[in-house]
Amino acid sequence: MRCMLTRLFSSVLIRALLLCALLCAAIPALGARQTAPDEAWLKFGFAACDLPCYAGIMPGQTSFDQVTALLTRHIAVIDPLMIDGGASINFWGWIASQQLSGLIRYNQGQVGEIRLDLLLPVGELIEHLGAPDCILSGAGSDAQADTVIFWERQGVSIGAVLAPDPQAINLSANALALWLRDVQPEDCALRGAIRWQGFAPLWDYTP
């Protein structure tokens, strides 16, 4: 009888240990799974290529003559009535939750700068770009200037504009706008820009 109980206990213990091992092995895989992309990310052109490329357009590399065709091809919800002023192109797009407003500037035959007004989760930008390189904090400014976090990738500066004077930067925050331009001069060399030190209250980034 004792022998049977011992065998039964051993069998249950082995099964429990195997189940525990399987669960432990699954945890890293579950943790590494990317979050589902935001609707704005999918429909406003970000899925066409990896940042700092946007909708097939790379600041400092893409010919300005190609911009209209690339926007039309890669932004599913773009308004066909774009405004081409020669030195810049204004464009718009809509989804149920928000509107995209964009401006692309000409620079010596190429795209010089891209400015996008829309809401994007900061966490989603970090998922694609990694940790920011620096931050220009609006905290303590009499003018309540915007706070901008910057990445420098592949010779392009990407700036995410946050709400004026938030209490802290965190993964649940939203960017109100996105700027992309040739990295020269470096945005992280701007007066008052501070190297990224992680998520913290903004006063930790006040010069």
pLDDT digits (tens, 9 = 90+) for 93-134: 999 989 999 999 999 999 999 999 999 988 899 999 999 999
Average pLDDT over residues 82-89: 94
Residues 155-203: tens digit of each pLDDT:
999 999 986 655 566 667 889 999 999 887 788 887 778 888 776 655 5
Looking at every residue in the chain, the average pLDDT score rounds to: 79
Rounded to two decimals, the pTM is 0.75
Please name which of 195, 176, 54, 186 lies closest in space to residue 131, comparing C-alpha atoms: 195
At 67-83, the pLDDT tens digits run 999 999 999 999 999 99
Domain positions in the chain are 1-33, 39-205
Under 8 Å between Cβ of 82 and 70: no
